[in-house]
Structure 1
């Protein structure tokens, strides 16, 4: 029986195989077919390109863009979202960590009248300072979701809003309310600084290649003026009460390791404010009295709202208990 003819690999297939073995493209195997433009997407970098034009258009519309706006985009990929943004605003600042995608962006907009409005920053957005912008619209690499959200909220001057694609569970945590299963420290921290709304769910088949998880689009609008609170102290308090969010507040603070830390910060605070440390200091009694006298002892973090946490922080600060 004659042997079946061996099909030779095309030049493009050979290029794909070669690309998959390069440093920085770990874990990506050549697919049986040819990707668009011979480009292999690196899922290690969160490269799941949003391909549905209706979702892209909807995200851009939800951002309420003005012709005078400067827009921040993170992970522009091949430029599907970038193109829509450039058509509506004065300038787009796009942060891209993958040089191959930067080359794709240059190729897409070379010779276009839109090219002069595009400013590409090559590098990790978490390691580079953010340039001033009015609105952020992005299909984020999901592994940077949490640090990027807090980098956004700490950015000055304050931006108008952000419309961002997240993993669905992360988005649900952002908008969770007291009593919800996913209500957590992230929920409280973000909602202290911003108004957060869930806009739409996005199925995995709207991406190329499809991610393993479902996605959601969220709109974040920073509060202006910013709440007058020490954010590090606030987060220090939340770390304690959300360590076990089903425990009572009092039980969370009575842990030996927590009391030891609070005693050190109390003594530091006294030193910085030229206050003598009481010879009969009992940090356990000091903390317990502040919590019980203001009726926070039987509360649980999973059911407390922003006002409850602010009241608890104020009670503890009033007796010299701080978290930084």
Structure 2
């Protein structure tokens, strides 16, 4: 049987079908459409959606996952950036009598302001927004119950990596500080249209409620120092000229504030110290904390969340702050 030619346009090029053009356009936005219904069903099942839940979906595409969420939820709020996908999604929801349950918000979810309240997030996330989206979700208030997310395999492995693992990093630590993360299933690249260059995984994220009672700005600065040179010990990372300079300035500012308060209250203020003397004091305090916690010769990749919380609190006790 002869080969059937595609219809051609004025320039002699084959015309793309509507679905083909949507696939190409959506891949431009970094979204690969999940085509395997068994994986879609598995994600929905693990979400354990209740009839009273509002579900947040990111990058719904043509709605293969959305149409499974709508019958189970009270409402689905879907963020989509592509107008043609939105039109197709509305058409399919209307055709299934589910349009009243669907709210579509056009735009980049990472660039929007506060998210609407939701109970569960279920999404096949565009790879390039995985990290910012995860932290946008984890910082969202009020707390949601859980998120079932399809992400790039290596990204998933980083989130669940234990201390000492080669993939363990600041991303791991910061995620595990704010949430419990579980790897649910592996998903091969051939389950997508068009197939991405890497495999994927489905993970479950459950926010810690309440979150740890620490100063997150200080936490961020502390972990940046600790992971600054991943193959160096904590002692080596903390004793660099730039780090010691920053810690000394912070210490001087705090001491100046305390002296001002003591002067105003009539209490005798301690003598003023120059920057060289202050740096010696700060250096000694840093050494003392690292030795007392037994972390001086440890590397950041070998410490867990509780270790870093302990380290931050011990530094704060002796007047060392990171912000």
Instruction: Sort the TM-score into its range (normalised by shorter chain).
Output: 0.7 to 0.9
Of 28, 36, 42, the match for 2:19 = 36
Q: Secondary structure at the match of 2:278?
A: coil
**Equivalent residue for 2:66?**
82
Does residue 95 of structure 1 match 2:79?
yes
Q: CA deviation at 1:37?
A: 6.2
Aligned length: 302
Does residue 143 of structure 1 match 2:140?
no
Task: Tell me if the contact between 1:262 and 1:321 (Cα under 8 Å) persists in the aligned partners.
Answer: yes
**Equivalent residue for 1:50?**
34
**Equivalent residue for 1:214?**
199
1:1-324 → structure 2 map (5 Å cutoff): 9=8, 16=16, 34=17, 36=19, 38-42=21-25, 43-128=27-112, 129-273=114-258, 274=260, 278-279=273-274, 280-282=277-279, 283-324=282-323
Gap change, CA 1:44 and 1:284, over 3 Å in 2:
farther
User: 1 CA distance for matches of 2:138 and 2:6?
Assistant: 55
Where do 5+ consecutive residues of structure 2 fail to align?
262-269
User: 1 CA distance for matches of 2:242 and 2:67?
Assistant: 53
User: 2 CA distance for matches of 1:216 and 1:231?
Assistant: 29
Q: Normalising by structure 1, what TM-score?
A: 0.87
Q: CA deviation at 1:15?
A: 5.7
Q: CA deviation at 1:289?
A: 2.5
Task: Tell me if the contact between 2:147 and 2:204 (Cα under 8 Å) persists in the aligned partners.
Answer: yes
Where do 5+ consecutive residues of structure 1 fail to align?
1-5, 17-33
User: 1 CA distance for matches of 2:183 and 2:293?
Assistant: 35
Q: CA deviation at 1:10?
A: 5.2
Q: CA deviation at 1:216?
A: 0.5
Q: CA deviation at 1:155?
A: 0.5
Gap change, CA 1:79 and 1:291, over 3 Å in 2:
same
Task: Tell me if the contact between 1:41 and 1:47 (Cα under 8 Å) persists in the aligned partners.
Answer: no
Q: For 1:108-161, what per-residue CA distance to the aligned partner results, in whole angstroms no more than 9, with x for missing partners?
A: 223542100000001110121210000000000010111111111110000000
Task: Tell me if the contact between 2:148 and 2:205 (Cα under 8 Å) persists in the aligned partners.
Answer: yes
User: 2 CA distance for matches of 1:75 and 1:271?
Assistant: 51
**Equivalent residue for 1:3?**
none
Root-mean-square deviation (CA), in Å?
A: 2.1
Q: CA deviation at 1:180?
A: 0.9
Task: Tell me if the contact between 1:41 and 1:48 (Cα under 8 Å) persists in the aligned partners.
Answer: no
Gap change, CA 1:208 and 1:271, over 3 Å in 2:
farther
Gap change, CA 1:215 and 1:285, over 3 Å in 2:
same
Q: For 1:30-67, what per-residue CA distance to the aligned partner results, in whole angstroms no more than 9, with x for missing partners?
A: xxxx4636524332311200000000000000011101
Gap change, CA 1:293 and 1:278, over 3 Å in 2:
farther
User: 2 CA distance for matches of 1:71 and 1:225?
Assistant: 21
Task: Single out whichever of 132-141 and 304-313 deviates more from structure 2.
Answer: 304-313
